[in-house]
Amino acid sequence: MSAIPTPHIGAREGEIAERVIMAGDPLRAKFMAETFLESPIQYNAVRGMLGYTGMYKGKRVSVQGHGMGMPSIGIYTYELFNFYGVKRIIRTGSAGAYDADLELGDVVIGIGACTDSNYAAQYNLPGTFAPVADFAMARAAVEKAESMDIRYKAGNLLSSDVFYGDSADGWKAWQKMGVLAVEMEAAALYMNAARSGNEALCICTISDSLVHGTACSAEQRQTSFTNMMEIAFDII
């Protein structure tokens, strides 16, 4: 029996490209597909997690929603890497700034992803695994950001299981270690890519700052983070 369609992705064989750009918000995935892809075709609506395939500057690219948190992106990226033959994934997401120099709309390229999650326990490793991005993809993202003359930083993210934390100042311990920003998915993406022998990168836009107490609106998060989207489509 074929492993596809999977319980979470309704695509048939060949409907998903080897290069996939993902977003937690399925409406952001829809926006990216309609904005950047030529003749996008929807291949998934299971659980409302929209997915599309089309062409971008001669490359066949898919765009797929992944939901919130490591369990959710863990499911979708596992199925894409292991059942649909996907070779490369870029997550485009929002992040909360820990670094005082980061402003709303700035781009963060996740070289590594610290985490408070127990996701790596499944691998039964005799130590602590350090989830990192694919170097070539990260370097290409930096070069593209510089060519666009946009504000960016590259470094460590925190992939947290907790959105509403019990400690109001807990983030400051990560800030002391030079972590740039917090999001909720990159570590699981990087681990799934490592385990399956594939490539991954997380590019985030700062949507709020824990340092300055500022934040973007929900609509801005959905449709205005186009700098990171352009980077992702150009290097995928």
pLDDT, residue 220, reads 75
Q: Answer yes or no: is 2 within a domain.
A: no
- Res. 15: pLDDT tops 80: yes
Residue 10 burial (CB count, 10 A)? 17
pLDDT grade for 217, boundaries at 50, 70 and 90 = confident
Q: Answer yes or no: is 3 within a domain.
A: no
- Res. 13: pLDDT tops 50: yes
pLDDT, residue 223, reads 66
Alpha-carbon distance 156 to 137, whole Å?
15
* Region of poorest pLDDT, from 82-91, 161-170, 203-212: 161-170
Contacts of 44 (CB under 8 A, 6+ apart): 9, 10, 11, 50, 51, 64
Show the domain range for 136: 19-235
β-pairing, 107-115 with 152-159?
parallel
| Model confidence pLDDT, tens digit, residues 185-214 | 999 999 999 999 999 999 999 999 999 999
Q: Answer yes or no: is 6 within a domain.
A: no
pLDDT, residue 20, reads 98
Q: Answer yes or no: is 14 within a domain.
A: no
pLDDT, residue 1, reads 43
* pTM given for the model: 0.96
Return the active site residues.
208
CATH of the domain at 98: 3.40.50.1580
Q: How far is CA 204 from CA 12, 48, 73, in A?
A: 30, 23, 15
Quick check: 97 and 210 in contact, CB under 8 A? yes
Q: Answer yes or no: is 196 within a domain.
A: yes
Give the number of domains in the chain.
Answer: 1
| Model confidence pLDDT, tens digit, residues 26-82 | 999 999 999 999 999 999 999 999 999 999 999 999 999 999 999 999 999 999 999
pLDDT, residue 224, reads 67
Alpha-carbon distance 226 to 229, whole Å?
5
| Model confidence pLDDT, tens digit, residues 101-138 | 999 999 999 999 999 999 999 999 999 999 999 999 99
pLDDT grade for 219, boundaries at 50, 70 and 90 = confident
- Res. 215: pLDDT tops 60: yes
Q: Answer yes or no: is 9 within a domain.
A: no
Q: Answer yes or no: is 42 within a domain.
A: yes
**Average pLDDT score over residue span 223-235:** 92
| Model confidence pLDDT, tens digit, residues 144-156 | 999 999 999 999 9
Q: Answer yes or no: is 10 within a domain.
A: no
